[in-house]
């Protein structure tokens, strides 16, 4: 393959990036600075003016020297679905650990795997990133690559015994996406979950 490994489809900008004005960018940076200062204070374990000031300086320096592509938050937080997301995630993290432990400890067993492409319905950077993070911690699935422009996650599936395991993993990824969008997505994105037909998603 002659492709430059440093550049992949995932590195190219999304097809329809959300429009971020100068004010929105400022707001995103202010939110990021707030989180950095909070992390700094937690690291010191003590809220004082000196810690607050050094936190502001360090946070501003981090944002200045390590600028990130803007990930703007256009949705809204919904407490109920957030609880569902957190509760389901905790349960699935436990069953995922038990599953991996069982596979790891079974004598003489060589698990088979598979790599599936799962197109997501909501293609914002935030949803792609959150879904990719969560599916690596639920049973069977692990994020391997991301096609950012087309909104496709490439997922490795552990312990494949038949086609039904691959289909099940595909459904699981889409279920994770649904829970995330319901918890933090905008109303438009929540509607998007039901609008796009399955056929189009599987053959983009």
Partner 1 sequence: MTAVGVVADWVGGLLLLAGALLSLVAGIGLVRFPDTLDRMHAATKPQVLGVLLLLVGLALRLRTGADLGMLALVAIFQLSTAPVAAQMIGRAAYRSGRIDRSLLDVDELAGR
Footprint of partner 1 (CB under 8 A): 5, 9, 39, 41-43, 45-46, 93-94, 96-97, 99-101, 103-105, 110-117, 132-134, 136-137, 139, 142-145, 147, 154, 156, 158, 160, 166
Task: Report in angstroms how near the CB of residue 127 gets to partner 1 at its nearest.
Answer: 15
**Ranges assigned E (strand) in the chain:** 113-119, 141-147, 152-158
Distance of alpha carbon 80 from alpha carbon 190, whole angstroms: 14
Cα gap 38→40, rounded to integer Å: 5
Taking the least distance from each CB to partner 1, the nearer of 22 and 110 is 110
163-184 and 125-135 are packed helices; what angle lies between their axes, rounded to 10 degrees?
130
Q: Which is nearer to partner 1, 104 or 195 (CB)?
A: 104
Owner of token pair 């957030």: 82
Least separation in angstroms between CB 96 and partner 1: 4
Distance (Å, whole) CA 49 – CA 51: 5
Distance of closest approach, residue 31 Cβ to partner 1, in angstroms: 16
Rounded to the nearest whole angstrom, what is the least distance from the CB of residue 200 to partner 1 in the complex?
17
Which residues, at least 6 apart from 107, have a Cβ–Cβ distance to it below 8 Å?
A: none
Closer residue to partner 1 (CB): 26 or 31: 31
Nearer to partner 1, 24 or 51 (CB): 51
């Amino acid at each position: 393959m002659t492709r430059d490994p440093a550049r992949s489809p995932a590195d190219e900008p999304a097809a329809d990036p959300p429009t971020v004005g100068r004010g929105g960018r400022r707001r995103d940076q202010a939110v990021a600075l707030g989180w950095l200062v909070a992390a700094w204070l937690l690291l010191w374990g003590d809220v004082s003016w000196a810690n607050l000031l050094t936190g502001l300086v360090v946070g501003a320096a981090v944002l200045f020297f390590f600028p990130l592509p803007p990930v703007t938050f256009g949705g809204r937080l919904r407490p109920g679905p957030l609880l569902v997301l957190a509760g389901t995630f905790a349960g699935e993290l436990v069953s995922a650990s038990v599953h991996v432990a069982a596979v790891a400890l079974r004598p003489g067993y060589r698990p088979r795997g598979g790599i599936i492409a799962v197109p997501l319905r909501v293609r914002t950077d935030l949803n792609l990133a959150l879904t990719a993070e969560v599916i690596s911690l639920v049973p069977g699935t692990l994020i391997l690559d991301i096609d950012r422009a087309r909104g496709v996650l490439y997922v490795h599936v552990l312990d494949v015994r038949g086609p039904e395991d691959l289909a099940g993993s595909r459904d699981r990824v889409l279920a994770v996406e649904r829970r995330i969008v319901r918890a933090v997505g905008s109303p438009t994105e929540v509607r998007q979950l039901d609008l796009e037909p399955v056929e189009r998603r599987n053959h983009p």
